[in-house]
Structure 1
């Protein structure tokens, strides 16, 4: 199996053009003028909807003349048609997020028109030319025909479109709300892996919230459409009965004249209101059944129907075959079948999967390397390597895995956090690893290993006993969890567990390993590259430091020590300036490190502060003086030469005070003199590796509030 390298799937991303930043645009100077010109329509648009709703309410009370009613009916039909077209051309449902509110307004508008038309029909026996045309011309002046057409429209709207749209909206709202926790966790995982920045994560969270609100609103708005359909038939029946009674009792008409006058008008009013109601029901169905894609509905449907040439050929041939059935008209089927065959013939010939795969391999396959170069490449020890078991290779497969993209994003995240350029990660398969296992190696030495079973996700939390799967452990924090099948992700979400996909588990583990072993990944060439970058902007700083004052090896040792202590080295200018000054007095590694840390003191102290407060643990002055007197120089720097009982007593006090601070929710640090800090850190590291050790000079320049929670006196334990 060929090794999968990050460079094998390298892709260059071109920045998107931003017309707003184009220096050659000539309309930027008129920005203020355009803004002033657009302010009046913008202010007017704020009052259109409120005024429209007030007018709709007035329409239900105030009688309208016939001409105005005709105009409003025409506007109602046009508005419904526009809503249908807009719902077809949007690419995502959220692009028409105002649809639920607009649906309610359109429904109220249509009901107000029904009330106004009913008032005119029952009082004047005439409700405008539009309703009269629908009652006489559209249905041919026949009451039976009008009632049949009205009932058919009602059945189509209520039983087919409205009922289906209501069910889809209800299911969509339920699944959208159920999927929210999983989507939020996916965003957090991408953010932690460095695939997206904070602004993108915030935008995606807003989109998820908006999507849930939209489908929840659509679930309620579909009830308006259903109620409107029921109200339409009730209003029509009331108009039929009321008009027949008014014609006979108040106007003295005969039963036949009363039916001919009022019944046709009532049916015409019902048809006028039922057509826009049907259009809005169709728009509701189109919105709730849309899936996310990159084009509008017409483009997507045309593209997907025409992607299979053979299906069109079979369909056209079947239409031509129907011409052979006796009794069927041949010309319609002949025209339709010929048109479908012509369309199928004009489509491009599909490429078989074998040909496409062979062409891709021929294009991507590099020329065979020279044997000497191959041996040298195999001899080289990669600084950072990610080995995958054979069943985990799908994570780096270009067809569905995004692990390599996340590794590249992790390099950027590490550079911004620690100030070093993480070496390229060689990702390859390893037949010696157990199935579902991955391993991280630094310079050929394994430093971490974990599990990522195929087809599963890691659920971390309680209440997972009823879900199938096998027990697992989160590799960074050691949290107990369970690897459950990927199709049960939503069920795991519902239990309140944190669900993480396999790639996120591996990337999080790899990021933690890189942070812990950052000093081992900082080579001499990396230091030279960082020095060249600083030299471009601050040449004097670099010229004073190296090679006149310190060699690259000495600078590398200082930077490695700072990374070992968890201090980022992004501010190289300030670090180099402090090293230049200290090197004139002493090139001792410990003094160089302390000088560099002192220059970054406020930044270091702020890393351990919470809401402007630094929780500190101090040493008793007498103990600190005794420790200073016990310092002795060695080949590895200054060391504390104290007896075992004193060391154990100090570490016991530190452990007790640290645990008390952590119980209060604080992250305490140990503060001591600069001369003592490095040696004391080496002693504390053996018992409390999580406890940072700072010097007084590092916190002196900060504006943090210092809160002391304990003093270590290091008293000898009393003998029993």
Structure 2
């Protein structure tokens, strides 16, 4: 190998992270114990290490506040179990091969534990060991396994509800995306952990069974080897191999019992902010229970024949503990040192900016009677409906509509709700939980029994009916929706009517950044070179005010870039941009034959409006005679109603000069009227005039 290769190898070895070699080394050690014979001294070290590991594990389990804090426990339990079984195999090999040499054949640890338990009586020692096995296998291991199984089942069953709860909090604005992601990860870890614990508990039960079988093998095999191969008497072989077998089993069963207890502690933990010791100490410190226990002990101590001293002493000790707990609870709080200190404590806290809350951009306040609509666990659909409204509006308007903050409000009626924009209620209504709203679309074939009302979004006549009447109402021509859909429809209308209020500088900057990813030079030339971000924002808000989508940002930015040399006024820029978006504006107004049905102004009326506009000062509102204005808007309302009865949307086409003023003036006076200029209609678009608006002049 060349010098360069050797130097490269040394460099790679020096950079290697050796912190991950612990588990591979443990696996190799377990494999060695299963295959290679180990000396008694090494067995003593490994048995002691096994006991230390089990003690560390159970202490960690006791101090854990919630199971996920010890999420590695199933894997740790697997390796600890394999280490103990490997030691069992290694010690069995030594006992069967060298057991005839005496009590120390398998090491000092095995001999010491065997002598302590047996205490000179092999029958008693064997019975004590059997009791330990029964406690471990029947009581602790079996109970922990059952609890693990139930925990895994209920955790998996509860996952959908918990996931929906996270989504509900996210949609309601209670948590942000990062918190929701973290809670979802914790939920996934929790399900994985309890699923793993269900399987890991089988390791513990299998370990207990293996310990019992190894005990029988050691005892029977030891007697056979001692009598058959080493010519020991039955009593001598029984004495030696019984001591070694029980000592070996006890050294293994003590760590096994600790692991079983740790498993039971983990799976029976109730998740709180306290450790098991703190939780038990707090809950067991019950003076009433302690006084009752002390009284019963005192009564038992007074019974003739009972050990009076022991019972009465324990009774007094229990009563003293209860008395001490009562004294601590009744101890008054420390009094303030001086009156000045008390005054300082009572002095109100200095205000800072944290005490000033920002209003939510979009809010939905609901009465307490509507809370079931928000809870997915009770079948509430409001959160999903609101999310659907946001998704639909974002796609149609061309920018991301911010989250809707849903909160309960005690200052409104139980069945009422308020749609709030920037802290101001822009829509109000009432719905009935558990009932459905049958809306009269204009033509129905019979009445319905129920509570008459008005549909909150559009003010149509409606009736609250029982869900069982839904199909009957639909056969009569009614449109039937549930309470959540009624609120969502109202929310959709309010947000659509106030779309310009939802668009701020931040959203416009994000739209420009998104466009810059595909056309960087176009955006770079416009902002801030030719137009400021404020002017662009105001122009886009004007388009939204006139119900024009801003999805085609490329065309908008190109037009603004070309028009920036002529004007910097947002209103004029809006009038220049609209013709470029003509096809998109018209596409939702044409009928099935791709024909645009429109209204026009009487030529004399349109010329009159032109003359009035020319006489008005620039930058001021158009000064129109009040009587003429009243007749004009009344005629527009009548014309819009007539066109809608024909089955067409109400569209008025006027000259580009008067369109901006007439659009602003008619916006709140004529419902659902769309105003177009002649220049906004594509040249190849088929147009059909279905109505002419007349307003007699005096």
Superposition TM-score tier, normalisation by shorter sequence:
0.5 to 0.7
* In the alignment, structure 1 residue 341 sits paired with structure 2 residue 341: no
- CA 418–646 in structure 1, closer or farther in 2 if over 3 Å, else same: closer
2:61 to 74, 83, 87: 87
C-alpha distance in 2, partners of 1:266/1:158?
A: 19
Q: Equivalents in 2 of 1:111, 1:563: separation in Å? A: 76
* Match for residue 99 of structure 1 among 73, 90, 94: 73
Where does residue 206 of structure 2 map in the other structure?
227
Deviations 1:538-568 (A, max 9, x none): xx99xx9999x99x9x999838717885889
1:111 aligns with 2:85: yes
Deviation at 1:626, TM superposition (A): 12
Cα offsets for 1:249-282 (capped at 9, x unmatched) = 1111111111110011101111111110010001
Can you list the C-alpha shifts for 1:362-420, whole angstroms capped at 9, x where unaligned?
A: xxxx9xxxxxxxxxxxxxxx999967556568999xxxxxxxxxxxxxxxx999x8789
Q: List runs of 5+ in structure 1 lacking aligned partners.
A: 1-38, 352-365, 367-381, 397-412, 455-474, 477-482, 485-501, 531-539, 599-604, 606-615, 652-673, 683-688, 698-710
Q: How far apart, in 1, do the equivalents of 2:486 and 2:66 lie?
A: 33
Query: How far does residue 645 in structure 1 lie from its aligned partner after superposition?
Result: 10
Residues 19-54 of structure 1: CA deviation (Å, up to 9, x unaligned): xxxxxxxxxxxxxxxxxxxx9899222111012112
Contact between 2:172 and 2:403, CA under 8 Å: does it hold in 1? no
Whole-angstrom distance in 1 between the partners of 2:418 and 2:73 = 51
User: 1:311 deviation in Å?
Assistant: 3.8
Mapped pair 1:142 → 2:121: yes
Counterpart of 2:25 in structure 1 is: 51
SS at match of 2:17: helix
Seen in structure 2, the aligned counterparts of structure 1 residues 631 and 331 have a Cα distance that, compared at 3 Å, is farther
Conservation of the 8 A alpha-carbon contact between 1:193 and 1:504: no
Q: How many aligned positions are there?
A: 503
Q: 1:324 maps to which residue?
A: 302
Q: 1:304 and 1:714, CA in 2 relative to 1: closer, same or farther beyond 3 A?
A: farther
Aligned mates of 2:544, 2:596 — CA distance in 1: 29
CA distance in 1, matches of 2:18, 2:84: 24
Q: How does 1:248-267 map to 2 (within 5 A)?
A: 248-267=227-246
Displacement of 1:200 in angstroms is 2.1
Contact 1:133–1:268 under 8 Å retained in 2: yes
- Look at both structures and tell me which one has the larger radius of gyration over its CA atoms: 2
In structure 1, the residue matched to 2:444 is: none
CA distance in 2, matches of 1:504, 1:629: 40
TM-score when normalising by structure 1: 0.55
Distance in 1 (alpha carbons) for counterparts of 2:177 and 2:361: 30
Query: Cα offset for 1:310?
Result: 3.7
| Structure 1 partner of 2:194 | 215
Contact 1:386 1:439 in 2 (8 A): yes
Deviation at 1:451, TM superposition (A): 4.5
Matched, 1:558 2:542: yes
Q: Please say if residues 598 and 687 of structure 2, whose CA atoms lie closer than 8 Å, have aligned partners that are also in contact.
A: no
Kept after mapping to 2: 8 A contact 1:312/1:341: no
Any conservation in 2 of the 1:582–1:595 contact (CA below 8 Å)?
Answer: no
Q: Does the CA-based 8 Å contact 1:387-1:428 persist in structure 2?
A: no
1:275 to 254, 259, 271: 254
Cα distance change of structure 1 residues 77 and 520 upon mapping to structure 2, 3 Å threshold: same
| Secondary structure of 2:409's aligned partner | strand
Q: Contact 1:193–1:507 (CA<8 Å) still a contact in 2?
A: no
> What's the secondary structure of 2:222's corresponding residue?
helix
1:224-265 CA distance string (max 9 Å, x none): 111110111111011111111211111111111111100111
Change (3 A) 1:182 1:421: closer
Residues 569-620 of structure 1 deviation map (CA, whole Å, 9 limit, x = unaligned):
9xxx99999999776568459528859999xxxxxx9xxxxxxxxxx99999
Change (3 A) 1:506 1:629: closer
Contact 1:136 1:142 in 2 (8 A): no
Where do 1:153-192 residues align within 5 Å?
Answer: 153-192=132-171
Question: Quick one: structure 1 residues 564 and 42, their matched pair in 2 at CA, closer, same or farther if it must change by over 3 Å?
Answer: farther
Q: Distance in 1 between matches of 2:492 and 2:73?
A: 46
8 Å CA contact 2:34–2:89 kept in 1: the answer is: yes
Secondary structure of the structure 2 residue equivalent to 1:295 = coil
Taking the TM superposition and a 5 Å limit, the aligned residue runs for 1:605-644 are none
The residue correspondences of 1:71-82 to structure 2 (distance < 5 A) are 71-82=45-56
CA RMSD in angstroms, aligned pairs only? 6.2
Report the Cα distance in structure 2 between the residues aligned to 1:631 and 1:162, rounded to whole angstroms. Answer: 94
Report the Cα distance in structure 2 between the residues aligned to 1:574 and 1:309, rounded to whole angstroms. 80
Q: Call closer, same or farther: CA 1:49–1:383 in 2, change over 3 Å.
A: closer
Closer, same or farther: CA 712–568 of 1 in aligned 2, 3 Å: closer
Structure 2 length-normalised TM: 0.57
Q: Conserved in 2, the CA contact under 8 Å of 1:320 and 1:338?
A: no
Task: Verify the 8 A CA contact 1:388 1:439 in the aligned structure 2.
Answer: yes
Kept in 2, the 8 Å contact 1:131–1:269? The answer is: yes
CA distances 1:318-343 after superposition (whole Å, capped 9, x unpaired): 44454433313322333343234323
3-state SS of paired residue (1:291)? coil
Q: Which runs of 5+ in 2 are unaligned?
A: 1-12, 100-104, 334-347, 349-359, 375-390, 436-455, 458-465, 468-481, 509-526, 614-635, 650-655, 665-671, 690-698
**C-alpha distance 594-112 of structure 1, shift in aligned 2 (>3 A):** same
